A = this chain, B = another copy of it.
């Protein structure tokens, strides 16, 4: 299993590229640079626009530009946009069946790992990548 999907991966790379350009960047430019299918790239950028991470401009001479500061765009945030809430484990047993209700060792241990993972993912920003 992979923990980062193409969606997220392409989004991160696109954001890095855009962050290095003061100018507006078009889909076509990104497609050429990253080799991602055009309609897929469009969809990703539109989503980032909706989430106010990008600004978009229609019409001739239009394209995309960063809206948020690169230092404020966190990898974990992009993951959440494209992959939903990232969770290591939630208990799959109905509560009243779980062998050690309340103090499940598995959940507790996994919880600690989860916290560490998030702490690290939160430290990576587009600024630190680009």
Contact = CB atoms under 8 A, between A and B. Distances in A.
Interface of A: 1-6, 9-10, 12-13, 16-17, 33-36, 79, 83-94, 97, 99, 105-106, 109-110, 112-113, 116-117, 120-121, 124, 128-130
Contacts of A99: 13, 16-17, 33-34
A124 B109 contact: yes
B106 A12 contact: yes
Nearest to A91: B9
A4 B116 contact: no
Contact of A4 (B13, B16, B110): B110
A92 to B, nearest CB: 5
A4 B89 contact: yes
A38 to B, nearest CB: 14
Contacts of A79: 1
A3 B35 contact: no
Contact of A113 (B12, B87, B89, B120): B120
